């Protein structure tokens, strides 16, 4: 099972999006675990749980470059969630985009 972890300012609104993404994954039998966490816990969560994909909420997109540098040695795909999809809590589209981005990353870095 792949782990797709979302990080945002406090983790509250992102947890709603993560829940919607998980429902889509479950309904389609996609072996993905989707969870949300506050950005302040990112280092600890990544070290402890080793997610396969890291998604940043639009409100913390300014941390994208730093996050890429910080975790470059892990070779994990890191994406910023589209603000429009985030705003309407489109769990299906965010999940599809994340899966496609993950697969592309893995193919390019194989």
Catalytic residue flag (residue 53): no
pLDDT surpassing 80 at residue 11: no
Q: What is the mean pLDDT of residues 79-104?
A: 95
Q: What is the mean pLDDT of residues 39-51?
A: 95
Q: What is the mean pLDDT of residues 59-87?
A: 94
Phi, psi for residue 16 in degrees, rounded to 5 = -65, -45
So what's the pLDDT on residue 52? 96
**Considering the domain 2-108 in this protein, what is its CATH number?**
3.40.50.2300
4, 5, 6, 8: which is the annotated catalytic residue?
A: 8
Question: What is the spatial distance between Cα 61 and Cα 23, in angstroms, rounded to a whole number?
Answer: 25
**Domain limits, the chain:** 2-108
């Amino acid at each position: 099972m792949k782990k797709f972890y979302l990080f945002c300012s406090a983790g509250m609104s992102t947890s709603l999006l993560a829940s919607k993404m998980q429902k889509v994954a479950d309904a389609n039998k996609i072996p993905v675990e989707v969870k949300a966490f506050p950005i302040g816990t990112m280092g600890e969560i990544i070290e402890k749980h080793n997610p396969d994909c890291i998604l940043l909420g639009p409100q913390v997109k300014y941390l994208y470059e730093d996050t890429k540098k910080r975790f470059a040695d892990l070779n994990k795909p890191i994406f910023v969630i589209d603000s429009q999809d985030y705003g309407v809590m489109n769990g299906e589209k965010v999940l599809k985009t994340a899966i496609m981005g993950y697969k592309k990353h893995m193919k390019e870095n194989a």
